[in-house]
Amino acid sequence: MPLVIALSCVAALIGTACLGVAISRTRGAGAIIYGLCLLTSLVALAAALTQLMGGTSVPAAVTLPLGLPWLGANFRLDMLAAFFLVVVNLGAAAASLYAIGYGRHEEAPERVLPFYPAFLAGMNLVLLADDAFSFLVSWEFMSLSSWALVMAHHRVRDNVHAGYVYLVMASFGTLALLLTYGLLAGSDGSYAFAAIRADHASAETAAVVLFLVLIGAGSKAGLVPLHVWLPLAHPAAPSHVSALMSGVMTKVAVYGFIRIVFDLSGPPAWWWSVPVLLLSGATAVMGMLSAVLQGDLKKLLAYSTIENVGIVFVGLGLALAFKANAMPAAAAVAMTAALFHVLNHSIFKSLLFFGSGAVLTATGQRDMEHLGGLIHRMPLTAFTFLVGCMAISALPPLNGFVSEWLTFQAILLSPEVPSWGIKLIVPAVGAMLALSAALAAACFVKAFGVTFLGRPRSTMAAEAQEVDRWSLAAMFIFASLCLLIGIIPGPVIDTLAPVVNALVAEHMPVQAADPWLSIVPIAESRSSYNGLLVFAFITVSTLAAVEIIHRFASRAVRRGPAWDCGFPDPSPATQYTAGSFAQPIRRVFGEVVFLARERVDMPPPGDLRAARLTVTLRDLVWDVIYAPVGGAIWFAAEHLSHLQFLTIRKYLSLVFALLVFLLFFLMLAMLVWS
């Protein structure tokens, strides 16, 4: 039943997309389209939740007479798909609610309204697909509709570049997935997932499959070095779409990875986790280091998505290592940590993108160097954004801390793994994870501090107005979810139990049985955490301190000019900026990672020319991998274009030469064969 409802929702979304084409230019179309999307997402969310909580372990499946004639379109709703449906539709519902208000400011609604429901439908379909053909078609549908949304503001120069890079990388990723399924299906071409699951691939095939899926799903998720498109494309889209792409679409990519590696490729070999762990550690650190140095609020958020994907993949890599070494209890902790972080990141990253969208609406600015002081003009947005920043910086008692804590607990279980390669890698990955967590705090102090605190750096920021109620409602719902999940994480872990059970054949101990709602991954003597009590202690001691001091000492307040060591400067330009905040970190880490160089051009005394500070950063991933490949393709295209304007005789002789060459090649092959 939930499967039928979910499929009907997809159909409804596609219908909404068609409606969007028809009415997008009329007034009030946004409210109708986003309202319909909100309703549909809520229905799908409810269906997925009933499947997840209902605990029917037998997944429902249907085959529709679409697609390949001998295959049909297979759809199935198992626990894994149900969990990711919850993530997708929760994000989609909030984004639609937000967009009812935010979408009013859209200059070209006809470029957004038809594609938005199509994008939602695509993501839902990927999760429901149960054969390679439907999976790939839905995947590509999701990619293309999101590409159309990235190109919504196509007159902005950077967006065109972003869209181009995104299109190339998305096609490349889909190509890798196509080859993956080709290998998994084998020579008899059994494309249904049930058939793939039944006959296990050989060890060599599985190795190639792992490599290809890391490229295919990893590029969509944003694993370093395949992440280059993500910080370009995610910020280019309208903010509610950015929220969906960062918060939700990367999770669909994670789903693709889990589905293929944990479900379809058979039992893992011990070394599978090695590339996953190495890539995920590098992803977490690189993503966060780049995020700290950004001055554009939405770009900063996009880079931090890369870091969070790294954290999720650390959990997945550990789960692979434990599963391969027959340590199901540890694998369950690692898998739970990864899935929990998927849920958490989808919530707080959407929240933060909503906040950046609100700032964009209010000020027209994404560049933090022109913002500041918004906490006075937009107090509600500032509050929710602060909650999001705390959650993503993994501060207790919010939700981000719980999943990071679980990931750390999983790392601490890994010395028991017998294989040496993993033993040596895991400590390094742990250090990288800790480093990225600390950098995340620095990054979000900067994001909140420069945007919302201090004095306004432009007139737009000084005159900003609080955003509409729809957007605020969406932000407040997600901010409360951050707190709620953070203080009572136990039920979430229990809900994840059947999903984890299906993947690693074990689940974490039932948390509902623990006293005082604390969470215990393995045993209480080993580790436990109680978000509720931490929250209660902090609240009680804050209130007690306030009450005692105000009652027995003083509550007098006087306003005066800022002290600033006696030399306050009225110009807001004397504040710390986004660039200057990040300067120490750039100096410590950037000189190695980004080859950061500072050049100071200080005119000699008497010269009235202004002094200049030039900072150069190099993106080594782009320079080493992408630029040469792009250059080679450009070079080849340049030279092959001579072939475009030949006479027909020359074309015919070319064809003839090729035929002769092929026949000759065939003959050689036959000779070698015999």
Residues of span 366-425 touching another protein by CB under 8 A: 372-373, 375-376, 379, 386, 390, 393-396, 401, 405, 408-409, 411-412, 414-416, 418, 420, 423-424
What lies within 8 Å, CB to CB, of 94 at 6+ separation is 243, 350, 354, 474, 477, 478
For the bound state, the minimum distance from the C-beta of residue 554 to another protein, rounded and expressed in Å, comes to: 5
For the bound state, the minimum distance from the C-beta of residue 544 to another protein, rounded and expressed in Å, comes to: 9
Residue bearing tokens 């998927």: 342
What are the start-end ranges of the H helices in 259-377?
Answer: 273-293, 297-324, 328-363, 374-377
Residue 575 binds another protein, judged by CB under 8 A: yes
CA–CA separation, 533 and 538 (whole Å): 8
Residue 329 binds another protein, judged by CB under 8 A: no
Question: Which of 282, 585, 615, 621 is in the footprint of another protein by CB under 8 A?
Answer: 585
Of the pair 375, 617, the CB lying nearest another protein is at: 375
The crossing angle, in degrees rounded to 10, of helices 420-452 and 399-412 is: 160
Residue 598 binds another protein, judged by CB under 8 A: no
For the bound state, the minimum distance from the C-beta of residue 203 to another protein, rounded and expressed in Å, comes to: 25
Among the candidate windows 158-166, 220-228, 474-482, 561-569, which touches another protein by CB under 8 A? 561-569
Of the pair 14, 282, the CB lying nearest another protein is at: 282
Question: Which of 58, 198, 513, 557 is in the footprint of another protein by CB under 8 A?
Answer: 557
Give me Rg for the CA atoms of the chain.
27
Question: Which of 70, 563, 645, 673 is in the footprint of another protein by CB under 8 A?
Answer: 563
Residue 597 binds another protein, judged by CB under 8 A: no
Question: Which of 236, 439, 485, 492 is in the footprint of another protein by CB under 8 A?
Answer: 439
CA–CA separation, 379 and 452 (whole Å): 9
Question: Which of 527, 617, 618, 619 is in the footprint of another protein by CB under 8 A?
Answer: 527
Is the separation of the CB atoms in 471 and 98 below 8 Å?
A: yes
403, 407, 412, 417 alpha-carbon torsion, rounded to 10°:
140
Question: Which of 75, 354, 448, 470 is in the footprint of another protein by CB under 8 A?
Answer: 448
Residue 549 binds another protein, judged by CB under 8 A: yes
Write the DSSP assignment of 233-289 as a string of letters.
Answer: HHHHS-HHHHHHIIIIIHHHHHHHHHIIIIIIS-SPPGGGHHHHHHHHHHHHHHHHH
CA–CA separation, 18 and 317 (whole Å): 41
Of the pair 143, 409, the CB lying nearest another protein is at: 409
Question: Which of 26, 202, 465, 542 is in the footprint of another protein by CB under 8 A?
Answer: 542
**Angstrom distances, CA of residue 416 to CA of 92, 408, 413, 422, 530:** 41, 15, 6, 10, 26
Of the pair 442, 460, the CB lying nearest another protein is at: 442
The count of chain residues that interact with another protein, using the rule CB under 8 A, is 90
CA–CA separation, 88 and 202 (whole Å): 33
Residue 138 binds another protein, judged by CB under 8 A: no
Is the separation of the CB atoms in 406 and 338 below 8 Å?
A: no
For the bound state, the minimum distance from the C-beta of residue 173 to another protein, rounded and expressed in Å, comes to: 32
**Angstrom distances, CA of residue 267 to CA of 201, 264, 326, 640:** 10, 9, 10, 46
CA–CA separation, 96 and 350 (whole Å): 11
CA–CA separation, 227 and 218 (whole Å): 8
Q: Of the candidates 170, 88, 52, 125, which has an alpha carbon nearest to the alpha carbon of residue 498? A: 52
Site map for another protein, 265-304, x if CB under 8 A?
----------------------------------------
Site map for another protein, 454-483, x if CB under 8 A?
xx----------------------------
Residue 570 binds another protein, judged by CB under 8 A: no
Residue 581 binds another protein, judged by CB under 8 A: yes
Of the pair 267, 379, the CB lying nearest another protein is at: 379
Of the pair 168, 585, the CB lying nearest another protein is at: 585
Question: Which of 85, 530, 590, 626 is in the footprint of another protein by CB under 8 A?
Answer: 530
Site map for another protein, 333-372, x if CB under 8 A?
---------------------------------------x
Residue 643 binds another protein, judged by CB under 8 A: no
Residue 54 binds another protein, judged by CB under 8 A: no
CA–CA separation, 420 and 418 (whole Å): 6
Of the pair 200, 455, the CB lying nearest another protein is at: 455
Question: Which of 465, 541, 616, 653 is in the footprint of another protein by CB under 8 A?
Answer: 541
Is the separation of the CB atoms in 229 and 169 below 8 Å?
A: yes
For the bound state, the minimum distance from the C-beta of residue 432 to another protein, rounded and expressed in Å, comes to: 9
Among the candidate windows 121-129, 301-309, 581-589, 627-635, which touches another protein by CB under 8 A? 581-589
User: Under rule CB under 8 A, which residues in 480-519 are in contact with another protein?
Assistant: 518
Residue 305 binds another protein, judged by CB under 8 A: no
Residue 612 CB: number of other CB atoms within 10 A?
10
Question: Please, what's the b/e burial string for 367-377 (b: 16 or more CB within 10 A of its CB; e: otherwise)?
Answer: bbbbbbbbbeb
For the bound state, the minimum distance from the C-beta of residue 427 to another protein, rounded and expressed in Å, comes to: 5
For the bound state, the minimum distance from the C-beta of residue 470 to another protein, rounded and expressed in Å, comes to: 24
Question: Please, what's the b/e burial string for 643-674 (b: 16 or more CB within 10 A of its CB; e: otherwise)?
Answer: eeeeeeeeeeeeeeeeeeeeeeeeeeeeeeee
